Amino acid sequence: MEMRDEALHEKFKLKEGQYTIIENEHEGFDMKKYQILFEKAVESIMVIQNQEIKIANPKSQELTGYNTQDLISMPFLDLFRPEDSLRVSIFHRKRFMGEKENTKFQVRLVKKNKEVRWVEFDGIKILWNDQPAILNLMIDITDRKKAIDALKQSEEKYRLLTEYASDVIWALNLDKGRFTYISPGIMQQRGFTVEEAMNQSLEESLTPKSLIKFNEEIRKNLDEFGADPKNPKNYISEIQQFCKNGSIIWIEVSMKYRVNADGEIEIVGVSRDINERKKADEEALILSYFDQLTGLHNRSFYEQELVRLNTEKDCPMSLILVQVNGLKNTNDAHGFTMGDKLLVTIAKIIKNVSRSVDSVTRISGDEFVLLLPQTNADVAELIVKRMQDAIDKNKMNEIFLSVSFGWATKNHPEEHLEKMFIEAQDMLNPENK
């Protein structure tokens, strides 16, 4: 992507909707040149700030099917398939935090006419109206990807013949207990030469947990292979391996069993580095348990905590239900931004007052729940009082902070959690009894 060179990274920043040149002390730059680059670029260029599209070049309109007014009126993440939008959000967050990854990635963009196109995605952190933003760059790779996918399919039966695949192709003789072939891709994947990797045993190449898992899978797979050796199955496994520098990476192994010319059983496999994918999966899992507005845990996490804490050692367990009063009135009178600020303020107060062992979650728009393990009703009431005092001491401009509390305690694991929640609700809203 040519637009990511020095012209964008070092020569100018974006300010007040226009390119503002940062003059180099040794050379000057023509403003019109960058305007032409923006307008005539062969890739989509957008400025993204707070997930809003501030400006988009003509190529962006062609790529998405939306006109300029449509684009600046819609959230940026709405352009992507839901399962890809999280990856885009994580990427932008990393850029804002200053992480400079050179890795580009591919996501699916949904055009205005609902057509799905694959795009290659990149971006850099800039200033827009003196505030941080992302200069987002996309190029349509749908046709290229189709061609690559078609080529991969046609060449699948020849994969074991190539010596230059980025994946590692290998053969493990089970009768001899050693590798008989490893492709040169091992150097890129784990840092070992072919000779070094060939001399390694499974114990030396796999982490202890992965070794146990892999050996168990081999025993199971051999039973299936022995039952029908003429129709071998393909097996997929995820394991962790050591690199030469001492690090550990996740590897996806695709393998089949066969009998070689000497009548010995061997595994022919392909190993692929999935370390970045595993990291992304972990990040996605973590994000799925957090409320994006307040940073507290969300209802999904709360439901899991109910099960985890439903033990004898955590009893007595108390539950505190917190309801923010007047949220709708605040939204109507002052706008949703002020309403969000109200929720964030209350959430911070609750979190600061709670203990490290307490679980604090936002379960709905204006409701928060605290789960307090090993806490009786008297202690729960003291915590409620501390929260109320802290809220009374805080002011937010012209907005009055008001919350209602309800709490309940269960003393034995067999007591129903739902009953405890209902008791807290009844205290919160006595008129509903």
Could you count the other beta carbons within 10 Å of the beta carbon of residue 252? 17
- Range scoring the smallest mean pLDDT among 27-31, 183-187, 273-277, 363-367: 27-31
How sure is the predictor about 18, in pLDDT bands with cuts at 50, 70 and 90?
A: very low
pLDDT given at position 419: 83
pLDDT tens digit string along 370-427? 999 999 989 999 999 999 998 888 877 767 788 899 999 988 888 877 788 888 888 8
pLDDT given at position 23: 33
pLDDT given at position 5: 41
Could you count the other beta carbons within 10 Å of the beta carbon of residue 302? 20
pLDDT given at position 29: 33
pLDDT greater than 50 at residue 19: no
For residues 311-332, average pLDDT: 87
For residues 204-233, average pLDDT: 92
pLDDT given at position 102: 61
pLDDT given at position 171: 92
Of 48, 46, 43, 83, residue with least CA distance to 63? 43
More confident residue, 24 or 342: 342
pLDDT tens digit string along 31-84? 355 677 788 888 999 999 999 999 999 999 999 999 999 999 999 999 999 989
| Burial (CB count within 10 angstroms: exposed 0-12, middle 13-18, buried 19+), residue 115 | exposed
Pull the structure tokens for residue 358: 């307490």
For residues 173-202, average pLDDT: 91
pLDDT given at position 224: 92
pLDDT given at position 165: 62
pLDDT greater than 80 at residue 430: no
pLDDT given at position 282: 75
pLDDT greater than 90 at residue 192: yes
For residues 89-105, average pLDDT: 78
For residues 232-236, average pLDDT: 92
Cβ–Cβ under 8 Å, residues 179 and 197: yes
Strand partners, 267: 172, 257
More confident residue, 377 or 165: 377
| Burial (CB count within 10 angstroms: exposed 0-12, middle 13-18, buried 19+), residue 44 | buried
More confident residue, 32 or 22: 32
pLDDT given at position 37: 78
In angstroms, rounded to a whole number, what is the distance separating the alpha carbons of residues 310 and 356?
18
CA R_g for the chain: 29
In angstroms, rounded to a whole number, what is the distance separating the alpha carbons of residues 412 and 314?
9
pLDDT tens digit string along 107-155? 999 999 999 999 998 888 888 888 888 888 999 999 888 887 776 766 5
pLDDT given at position 216: 94
Q: Which residues contact 296 (CB under 8 A, 6 or more apart)?
A: 290, 347, 351, 360, 361, 362, 368
For residues 262-268, average pLDDT: 92
Which contiguous run of DSSP H or E holds residue 325?
Answer: none
In angstroms, rounded to a whole number, what is the distance separating the alpha carbons of residues 213 and 68?
54
- The DSSP symbol for 69 reads H
Please compute, for residue 390, the number of CA atoms within 13 A of its CA located in the half-sphere on the CB side. Answer: 16
For residues 172-194, average pLDDT: 91
pLDDT given at position 1: 42
pLDDT given at position 213: 93
pLDDT given at position 17: 39
pLDDT given at position 155: 58
pLDDT given at position 30: 42
Give the strand order in the sheet containing 248-259: 178-182, 168-173, 265-273, 248-259, 235-242
Average pLDDT, the chain: 83
Cβ–Cβ under 8 Å, residues 6 and 26: no
More confident residue, 278 or 247: 247
Residues above pLDDT 70, as percent of the chain: 86
pLDDT tens digit string along 338-357? 888 889 989 999 999 888 88
